[in-house]
């Protein structure tokens, strides 16, 4: 067993004492929202139906009111003249959010609105977002950040972290993307080149860029303490646990995050970045990975949480495949119900040959070389 795997086992064992699970009083049902009425005529014939976002219903067994909110992320917009495919999907996602009936209480955009952080891309996203009239909140992705170090993003959508309380739930939005080590100054790198390296998932120079940093950790600790052990949803672009560091499918200070969250039993982390179906529990915290509107990433070569039921292999010839509806029941006691209902075909494979992780059991990968110092 590799050193990395041994370390993962040790940390998981430490953070998951026997019997330590998320509190059962919060039930989460996850679906992908579809609205056929929005897709008529040629558009429907050409593109068919496709999943665009996840809606999350929250019901509190102890008598709190039920409500919905929507999540959209990872639209990865290029300028319109470069790639219309991603624009079309984003437009449709936002139309579907707006058409929800009853309407969602709010929409969270989970980062990576742009592909290369270009103000043109961010402005395009902001324009498309006007379709959504309900309350919107935002957290950044690395693709939104590293051209101008978040200037356009923060000016357009506001800075993170933030929190607000809504119907008995504290919602927290984190910035997990802005703290990359400076690899560009000493290399006299242009802003465009810096962004290019950061926009490459399997790039080398960006390193372990995902993290909260000491100041935000302190802020998170204080924000949790002031709310106590009540239902809390933490939005982050990256997952708050160690899945696959090489692709920043983690935050580098995740151990510190879990130390802060350890006393609290009603915490759910919802994250983007990984573009795939993911479910995990670390200590008392549950974590749910959201789909992208742009494209699905393959599962990483190692570190896929054992609680994740992998999604089906995507058809590379179908830009609307790899996302869709499904059902995922994590707890036999019914404490948590994660339900994906996605477009086109069942999201989960019934046979290993169709499974997004089992399919790769004979695959061992080597990191790239062309961008190494």
Calculate the dihedral angle through the C-alpha atoms of 202, 205, 211, 212, rounding to the nearest 10 degrees: -140
Stretch that binds other proteins, among 184-192, 205-213, 218-226, 294-302 (CB under 8 A): 294-302
Regarding 357 and contact with other proteins (CB under 8 A), the answer is no
Binding span for other proteins by CB under 8 A among 75-83, 89-97, 303-311, 337-345: 75-83
What percent of the chain is helix, strand and coil (3-state, nearest 5)? 25, 20, 55
Question: Per CB under 8 A, which region of 103-111, 184-192, 284-292, 298-306 contacts other proteins?
Answer: 298-306
Q: Is 19 in the site for other proteins (CB under 8 A)?
A: no
CB of 202 to other proteins, least distance (A): 4
The region of 55-63, 90-98, 179-187, 195-203 touching other proteins under the rule CB under 8 A is 195-203
Our CB check for other proteins shows the closer of 17 and 48 to be 48
> With respect to other proteins, which residue has the nearer C-beta, 246 or 268?
246
Enter the DSSP assignment of 12: H
Q: Which of residues 111-130 bind other proteins (CB under 8 A)?
A: 115
User: Each residue of 88-125: b (16+ CB within 10 Å) or e?
Assistant: bbbbbbbbbbbebeeebebbbbbbbbbbbbbbbbbebb
Which of positions 243-262 make contact with other proteins (CB under 8 A)? 246-247
Determine the distance from the C-alpha atom of residue 251 to the mean position of all C-alpha atoms in its chain, rounded to a whole number. Answer: 12
Question: Which span sits near other proteins by CB under 8 A: 2-10, 291-299, 328-336, 342-350?
Answer: 291-299
| 120, containing H or E segment | helix 119-129
Strands (E) located in the chain: 26-32, 54-60, 67-72, 106-109, 135-138, 162-166, 169-173, 232-236, 267-271, 278-282, 285-289, 328-329, 337-338
Binding of other proteins by 146 (CB under 8 A): no
In terms of CB distance, is 165 or 193 closer to other proteins?
193
Q: Does residue 85 belong to the site contacting other proteins (CB under 8 A)?
A: yes
DSSP secondary structure letter of residue 130: T
Q: Which residue has the tokens 């915490």?
A: 267
- If one asks whether residue 370 binds other proteins (CB under 8 A), the answer comes out as yes
Which of 29, 200, 327, 331 is close enough to bind other proteins by CB under 8 A?
Answer: 200
Contact criterion met (CB below 8 Å) for 264 and 284: yes
Distance of CA 325 to the CA centre of its chain: 16
How many residues of this chain interact with other proteins, rule: CB under 8 A?
33
Maximum distance among all Cα pairs of the chain, rounded to whole angstroms: 58
367 interacts with other proteins by CB under 8 A:
yes
Separation between Cα atoms, residue 69 and residue 259, nearest integer Å: 28
Alpha-carbon distance 67 to 167, whole Å?
Answer: 8
State the nearest-atom distance from the C-beta of 197 to other proteins, in Å: 10
Which of 33, 71, 78, 340 touches other proteins (CB under 8 A)? 78
CA distances from 209 to 98, 134, 253, 303 (A): 34, 32, 10, 18
Measured from the CB atom, the residue of 45 and 370 that comes closer to other proteins is 370
Residue 201 near other proteins by CB under 8 A:
yes
Residues near other proteins, by CB under 8 A: 78, 82-83, 85, 115, 200-202, 246-247, 295-298, 300-301, 315-317, 319, 353, 359-360, 362-371
């Amino acid at each position: 067993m590799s050193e990395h795997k041994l370390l993962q086992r040790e940390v998981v064992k430490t953070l998951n004492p026997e019997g330590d699970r998320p509190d059962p009083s919060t039930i989460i049902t996850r679906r992908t929202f579809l609205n056929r009425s929005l897709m008529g005529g040629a558009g429907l014939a050409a593109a068919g139906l496709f999943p665009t976002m996840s809606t999350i219903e929250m019901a509190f067994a102890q008598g709190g009111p039920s409500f919905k909110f929507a999540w959209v992320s990872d639209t990865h917009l290029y300028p319109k003249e470069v790639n219309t495919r991603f624009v079309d999907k984003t437009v449709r996602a936002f139309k579907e959010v707006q058409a929800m009936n009853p309407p969602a209480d709010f929409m969270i955009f989970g980062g990576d609105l742009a592909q290369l952080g270009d103000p043109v891309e961010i402005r395009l996203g902001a324009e498309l977002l006007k379709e959504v009239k309900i309350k919107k909140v935002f957290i950044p992705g690395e693709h939104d950040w590293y051209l101008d170090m978040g200037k356009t993003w923060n000016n357009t959508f506001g800075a993170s972290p933030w929190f607000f309380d809504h119907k008995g739930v504290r919602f927290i939005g984190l910035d997990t993307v802005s703290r990359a080590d400076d690899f560009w100054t000493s290399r006299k790198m242009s802003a465009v080149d810096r962004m290019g390296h950061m926009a490459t998932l399997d790039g080398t120079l960006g390193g372990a860029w995902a993290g909260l940093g000491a100041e935000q950790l302190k802020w998170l600790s204080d924000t949790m303490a002031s709310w106590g052990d009540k239902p809390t949803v933490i939005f982050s672009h990256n997952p708050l646990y160690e899945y696959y560091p090489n692709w920043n499918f983690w935050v580098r200070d995740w151990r510190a995050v879990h130390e802060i969250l350890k006393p609290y039993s009603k915490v759910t982390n919802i994250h983007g970045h990984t573009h795939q179906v993911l479910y995990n529990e670390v200590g008392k915290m549950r974590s749910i990975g959201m789909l992208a509107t742009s494209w699905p990433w393959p599962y990483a070569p190692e570190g896929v949480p054992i609680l994740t039921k992998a999604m089906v292999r995507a058809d590379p010839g179908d830009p609307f495949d790899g996302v869709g509806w499904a059902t995922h029941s994590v707890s036999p006691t019914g404490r948590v119900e994660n339900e994906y209902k996605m477009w086109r075909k069942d999201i989960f494979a019934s046979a290993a040959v169709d499974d997004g992780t089992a399919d790769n059991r004979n695959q061992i990968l080597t990191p790239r070389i062309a961008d190494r110092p």
